[in-house]
A and B are shown apart, each in its own frame.
Chain A
Amino acid sequence: MNRLATERLNEAAEQDELVTELLRQMALKDRRAIHAFYQLYARRIGNFLMKLLKRPELVDEAVNDTLLAVWQSAGDFDPAKGKASTWLFGIAYNKGLKILERARRHQGEQSLDIDPDDDSDGGWDNAAYAQEQRVSFNPERTVLGWELGEALNRALERLSPEHRTVLELTFSEGYGYQEIADITHCPINTVKTRIFHARKNLLQLLERYGYSPTVYAQEDGT
């Protein structure tokens, strides 16, 4: 395990202890604990939900639904069964999905992939893509730098919420496959299948935007 990963895990473990303590206090209905918890953790939950829901007004609602559920069921959390952050992200993911489902019903919004576990390209909108290409594609942009991050954001928005979530939980939040399975309430094999297809779809999108792993390897010297 590399040094960065070890540091990140140590930091996460410390934060987990603090969150566990706050959950204990919330179980005793201490309002100061929910305020401290909000200050400490709501942004992380909000950022995660932002990637799933994409709209701040929906995220506002999902964060509060999540924190209300945490307040009401803090006493149910058992540290022996898993990490506090995994438990919290599981609640946040559930609340986020419910709100996403409702938003889809109201707006008839279509995601890129109908079935997140299907090995297809999801039939993205080629006309929209062509328009986007005219705006953003430029061979000179294939140089690496922060633009890759911007391209990633655009590509992630076009993936299904399930693919986006598994990528975010792995590469942004640093969770292992078992924890992602716990958070998303999926079998481990589903998590592994999703990330396999998510990688394929993401790389195709990035390549269409002019970013490819080959160029990265050359520029990065790896």
Chain B
Amino acid sequence: MTMQHAEASQREHEIVLELLPWHSEGTLSQAESAKVEKHLEHCPICREALGQYRYIEAAFARRGETEGWQLSEAHFERLLTMINRAEQADAAAQRPLKKARNGQSGFEVVRAWLAEPITLRWILGTETLALAALALALVIPHTPDKSGEAPVFETLTSPARPLATACKSCLHVVFAGEITESEMRKLLLAVHGQIVEGPSYIGVYTVELSPADAGGETLEQAVKTLRADAKVRLAEPVSPINP
């Protein structure tokens, strides 16, 4: 026997020896099984090892089932509690403001915001406003008015937006929280309108109809079209429609 042949034979012996547990269990491929069978014909060491694995296999087969683990409804209930807690934690972690920090578009943030319960929205909105006002007060230095007139203070709730109040071809629209961007676009195209303001802190958009469609009848038709859509919660003309 040459040195090379001896080495190859030894290598084959090692490979087969490693495969024996699974030969015993019948989980080897056909090619591997054939290789093992062929080697076993002339290898007493592997035959002995196979006998040992079969002995272990027989011991496993004789093992009782008494030490098994048992299911129970109480155990399953605990699993459901864990699932509920995990899902609540996930939901809390996916709040819209956090998503916004992760690169969500402004539109998506607004949609998620609108989907929040009203009370929560108001609380968060009020807190945000208060913080913004405080930050402005601290950052902007006080500059006396050169005209000598007393400064006029405006709050975010002041009805001082000329466009919204004066616009005769404008509508106030509140969309449903689940509306998609494409659905909103389709609706606006249908009424020949474009968003000129909003959303406000309660989710109101101001939609202006194109000048060609700004007549009273068309405005009324646009209101009807919008109101007929399930994804529109509110559609009202900014100014009363002239008869």
Where the two chains meet, the residues of A that have a C-beta atom closer than 8 Å to any C-beta of B are 1-2, 4-6, 9, 31, 34-35, 38-39, 42-43, 46-47, 49-50, 56, 59-60, 63-64, 67-68, 71-72, 145-146, 148-153, 167, 170-172, 174-177, 192, 195-196, 199, 202-203, 206, 211, 213, 216-217, 220, 222
Contacts and interface: CB of A to CB of B under 8 A. Distances in A.
Contacts, number: 123
Contact of A1 (B26, B49, B80): B26
Interface residues of B, number: 39
Q: Determine chain B's interface SS by DSSP, over half rule.
A: helix
B52 A199 contact: yes
A170 B26 CA distance: 10
A217 B51 CA distance: 8
A139 B226 CA distance: 92
Interface string B52-92: 11111111111110011111000110111011001000000
A213 B79 contact: no
B52 A213 contact: yes
Given A64-B78, A222-B54, A152 B59 contact: yes
A59 B69 contact: yes
A1 B19 CA distance: 14
Contacts of A217: 51, 55
Contacts of A176: 22, 25, 27-28
A46 B22 contact: no
Q: Determine chain A's interface SS by DSSP, over half rule.
A: helix
Contact of A196 (B18, B26, B67): B18
Contact of A64 (B58, B70, B82): B82
Nearest to A170: B21
Given A1-B33, A152-B60, A213 B21 contact: no
A71 B60 contact: no
Contacts of B67: 50, 153
Given A43-B69, A206-B59, A38 B27 contact: no
A9 B52 CA distance: 23
Top 5 nearest A-B pairs by Cβ distance?
A5-B26, A46-B69, A149-B62, A149-B63, A176-B27
Contacts of A222: 51, 54
B76 A195 contact: no
10 contacts: A42-B71, A146-B62, A150-B63, A153-B63, A153-B64, A177-B21, A177-B27, A192-B18, A199-B52, A206-B59
A167 B55 CA distance: 13
